[in-house]
Structure 1
Amino acid sequence: MTGTPVGDVDLTVVTPVGSRRADPLPLLVAHDGPEYSRRAHLVSTLRAAIESGRIPPTRVALLEPGARNQRYAANPDWADALTGHVLPAIRAAYASAGRPTVMGASLGALASLQAEWRHPGTFGALFLQSGSFFRKRVDDEEDFEFWNRVTAFVTGVRRARKRRTDARIVMTCNVDEGNLTNNRQMAQALSASGHDVVLHELPGRHDWRHWEAAFDPFLLTLLQGSVHLNRRAGEAHGADA
């Protein structure tokens, strides 16, 4: 895809076996999609869940990160590219049922939250794993090249006094990693401003193996309810199903 605010964006859309482009199906958008598929077996997990009837047939858009730090580290241009260019292109090519779900790990979780924060109502649900919600005096990441951009965005979210989005937000974080404290604080801040958010603290570290372990039940449960959530959202916003 060309012509976005961050340049070319590469992605792959994986569709359930037997489905057609004209079939309106829920959509899951995954930051770091190829890594999620290769290292955390996202596509195979979803395929098995669809075949067993645990979740409805669901398409997944696997986003190539490109210049990952530049794009995902609270870059408003990436949020605009995703919501204003990538999603419309996907929806032009594939019929969609309601609002999509977006997911990401580490900086991908940060990018997922920012996209919905800047463009509320785009997504029906967010699945945020070990988000890099860096804060001054909490995280020892000052040498990170986009530290100021990330901390400014996180501060803005924390200062919100009312709900910004009606999307359901499910967070997971592993207890043996550096982002645990800032994830706890982000969940608390989102809850205090009226958001539908839950944080699950799980064993493990900041890696793909432990993010995969959180798919069942937390991602699958979120996707189980995506059809009902999207139907209610569509009725509320007058959106097409």
Structure 2
Amino acid sequence: MTPAARRAADPPKVLDRWIRFRLPDPEHRLSAVRLDVDSVLPARTRDLVRRDGRWELRLPRPDLQRLEYTFTVTGPDGVATQTDPANPARVESAFGARSVVELPGYLPPAWLARDGVPGRFDAFEVSGETADPVPVTVWSPADAGDAEPLPLLAVQDGPEYDQLAALTRFCAVQVADAVLPRHRVALLQPVQRSPWYSGSPRYLRTLTGPVLTTLARRYAVSAPVALMGASLGGLTSLLAALRAPAVGAVFAQSGSFFQAELDGMEQDFPWFPRIVDQVRAVLGTRHTDHPLVVGLTCGALEENAPNNRAMAAALARAGHTVRHAEVPDLHNYTAWRDALDPHLTDVLRDCWISRG
């Protein structure tokens, strides 16, 4: 950054009613700058205005504890996306690096700074009805033999969950602190995420059949299996849990429980009708012979918040034990990481200890 750019640089400033963003442009190379944030925030407020060799925006302060963003800039080389050069706070997301504003009162979870039990990873693939086999990586306490009976948590988008939300670190700390029993975590990787995680009958049969059967054959499983996922992975975890007698709990974060009347903005998604049909069937169920422990978390301002509220009410009405929590963040892995404790902790303790 040039000396002039450094003088113009200014990190985001949180005010009572606004968050102020600035991007230096002392040579006037840019013709437009736009703040790229979650779509739930008002679109009309995202264009920065040029002022004194820099671009500036005052965004109405949302009711959040943190906000991820990038800048979309238009210049002589075309349109590009970049992080904020004046803001050293960054986070890796499912779509690359993003800058972060942490609002007053936000604290990352304490377990991130803790040491957990040592672990090991075993990788293999499971073939089923999907065109591609399902890659699986199993985390276990390092001293656990495969024949030692332990509870099992199976996770959709597992490798990404581990990389971006520190999932196995969380589990290792919970075991070290004796909050959760020693257990294994199966990290399931989607080869074709949208087709698989949109109510695909072939994937659901593969997950509830060959995947869970292979895991039980390779490792001794001592308690009901718990399934977990976020967004479309949360939908998939719930649909699979309702079909699989071996599953006792499901934890869905920002679950994509699409309904035609609530989620019209998703109607261009190719598998939207299939999801709507399957969600409608779950919402219409009035009784279950297979009661689950269910945990749902979702950002209070997310587009998925209304359909998560409806799903929580429907599952409780059908006889499942439901915990539903709304959090002051949006649709991202850090939000899901920050909600693991106590919400995932409570679901797993109920499934593996109280009912195991």
Structure 2 length as normaliser, TM-score? 0.63
In structure 2, the CA distance between the partners of 1:21 and 1:230, relative to structure 1 (3 Å rule), is farther
Question: Which residue of 184, 192, 198 maps to 2:309?
Answer: 184
Give the RMSD, CA atoms, in angstroms: 1.2
Contact 2:253/2:298 (<8 A) preserved: yes
Distance in 1, matches of 2:297 and 2:316, equals 15
Choose 1 or 2 for highest CA Rg.
2
Deviation at 1:229, TM superposition (A): 4.3
In the alignment, which residue of structure 1 is the partner of 2:256? 132
Segment of structure 1 superposing worse, 33-42 or 222-231? 222-231
1:5 aligns with 2:105: no
1:150 aligns with 2:282: no
Distance in 2, matches of 1:70 and 1:217, equals 32
In structure 2, the CA distance between the partners of 1:218 and 1:81, relative to structure 1 (3 Å rule), is same
In the alignment, which residue of structure 2 is the partner of 1:94? 219
In the alignment, which residue of structure 1 is the partner of 2:329? 204
1:25 aligns with 2:150: yes
Q: Secondary structure of the residue that 1:125 maps to in structure 2?
A: strand
Segment of structure 1 superposing worse, 192-201 or 34-43? 192-201
Deviation at 1:188, TM superposition (A): 1.1
1:105 aligns with 2:230: yes
Higher RCO (Cα < 8 Å, 6 or more apart) = 1
Deviation at 1:2, TM superposition (A): 4.6
Question: Which residue of 241, 248, 257 maps to 1:116?
Answer: 241
1:173 aligns with 2:298: yes
Distance in 1, matches of 2:126 and 2:330, equals 36
Percent of aligned pairs with the same amino acid: 37
Paired amino acid for 1:61? A
The structure in which a higher percent of residues are strand is 2
Paired amino acid for 1:102? L
Paired amino acid for 2:129? P
Question: Which residue of 143, 153, 162 maps to 1:37?
Answer: 162
Distance in 2, matches of 1:2 and 1:109, equals 21
Paired amino acid for 2:156? H
Contact 2:208/2:243 (<8 A) preserved: no
1:76 aligns with 2:240: no
Structure 2 unaligned regions, length at least 5: 1-124
Aligned length: 230
Structure 1 length as normaliser, TM-score? 0.92
Distance in 2, matches of 1:225 and 1:57, equals 15
Question: Which residue of 265, 286, 299 maps to 1:161?
Answer: 286
- 1:40-63, CA deviations, whole angstroms, 9 ceiling, x for partnerless residues? 000111111111111111100000
Deviation at 1:3, TM superposition (A): 3.3
- 1:209-236, CA deviations, whole angstroms, 9 ceiling, x for partnerless residues? 00001111111222223333453xxxxx
Paired amino acid for 2:243? R
In structure 2, the CA distance between the partners of 1:163 and 1:109, relative to structure 1 (3 Å rule), is same
Distance in 2, matches of 1:143 and 1:69, equals 13
Distance in 2, matches of 1:91 and 1:122, equals 10
Q: Secondary structure of the residue that 1:10 maps to in structure 2?
A: strand
In structure 2, the CA distance between the partners of 1:96 and 1:163, relative to structure 1 (3 Å rule), is same
Structure 1 unaligned regions, length at least 5: 232-241
